[in-house]
């Protein structure tokens, strides 16, 4: 199974199961191969709210688009 993560901002980091896969800039449009099963995806960057999701690796290709939201000042 493969996962394609297209994300913003470009400097955000993408982790799967706690392992850094790279930045959004380096991964956009590329496929990440995953073994079958459930995986924890996290996208985060300083000054932005992190995104976390469970990905169930089945089939051929899953595409996910993530745009992080900036923290709002109080």
3-state class (DSSP) for residue 66 = strand
Q: How many domains does the chain have?
A: 1
The answer to whether residue 17 sits within a structural domain is yes
* Range(s) of the domain holding residue 55: 2-64
Residue owning tokens 């993560």: 5
d(CA 10, CA 5): 12
pLDDT at 59: 79
Query: pTM score, two decimals?
Result: 0.90
d(CA 56, CA 62): 9
The answer to whether residue 71 sits within a structural domain is no
Q: Name the pLDDT band for 35 (thresholds 50, 70, 90).
A: very high
pLDDT in tens, 46-64: 999 999 999 998 878 899 9
pLDDT at 57: 83
């Amino acid at each position: 199974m493969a996962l394609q993560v297209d994300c913003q901002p470009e400097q955000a980091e993408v982790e799967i199961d706690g392992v850094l896969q790279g930045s959004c800039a380096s991964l956009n449009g590329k496929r990440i191969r995953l073994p079958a099963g459930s995986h924890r995806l996290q996208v985060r960057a300083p000054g932005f709210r992190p995104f976390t999701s469970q990905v169930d690796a089945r089939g051929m290709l899953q595409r996910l688009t993530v745009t992080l939201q900036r923290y709002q000042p109080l």
